[in-house]
Amino acid sequence: MTVDPRQPEPSVPDVTGPAPREAKPRLLQDGRDMFWSIAPLVVACIVLAGLLGMCSFQGSGPTEGPAPSYDAARALQADADALKIPIRLPALPDGWRANSGGRSGIEAGAEDPRTGQTTRAVVSRTGYLAPSGRYVSLTQSNADEDKLVESITPGLVPSGAQDVDGVSWVVYQGGEDVEPVWTTRLSGDAQIAITGAGSADEFRTLAAATQKQQPLTAR
């Protein structure tokens, strides 16, 4: 069949239809997708916070600041009440400050001279800062001399004596850089010991301040 060129070509129907809308981003489709999208970020923040927290606890040594205060009068009275041994409160000059204390015991630390049986000894310890800033500690106990010294610093040996206002203190020493221990027996079955980083003069000051005091009355 011959087609008349003057006739218009038949139109072709548009079967493609309107262009489809752009799909929503998956992140906005529902709450579950949003949760799983941000979850890794939340976990990373938690891990980072934990690492920073761990770092904040890593100390590099003693921190600067005032030394802690300690009520030696109250603590030593409590020791006298609880331990039932002679406990003295040193009458120290101005500039000395108590900064620590505590109680402990020494198994088989005391021998009964009448029976030869050993018993557990009790210990009261108070730490002081001398005006120089050096630490010196005072130990009061019913232990035997050798047992008390051994409990403070093992391996020391007696090397002489120091006279403090008529009272003889035995001096125990060890190797180089080992702090000495001075000890004496006062009336009332009390073994007293002094040690620390203080000088000999500071040891003498604490010794004199202790030995001239009467034991506290236990309540």
Task: Give the start-to-end residue ranges of the domains of the chain.
Answer: 27-51, 72-211
Q: Compare 120 and 50 and report the one with higher pLDDT.
A: 120
Give the pLDDT confidence score for residue 91 in this predicted structure.
Answer: 98
Give the pLDDT confidence score for residue 44 in this predicted structure.
Answer: 61
β-sheet bridge partners, residue 98: 128
> Is the distance from CB of 180 to CB of 171 less than 8 angstroms?
yes
> Is the distance from CB of 162 to CB of 193 less than 8 angstroms?
no
> Is the distance from CB of 149 to CB of 189 less than 8 angstroms?
no
User: pLDDT for 119-132, tens place per residue?
Assistant: 999 999 999 999 99
d(CA 200, CA 40): 65
pTM of the model: 0.70
| pLDDT range class, residue 114, cuts 50, 70, 90 | confident
Over residues 102-112, mean pLDDT: 95
Over residues 143-151, mean pLDDT: 97
Question: For residue 106, with 0-12 CB atoms within 10 Å meaning exposed, 13-18 middle and 19 or more buried, which class applies?
Answer: buried
Q: Which fold has domain 72-211?
A: Phosphorylase Kinase; domain 1 (3.30.200)
Give the pLDDT confidence score for residue 27 in this predicted structure.
Answer: 44
**What 3-state DSSP class applies to 173?**
strand
d(CA 134, CA 174): 20
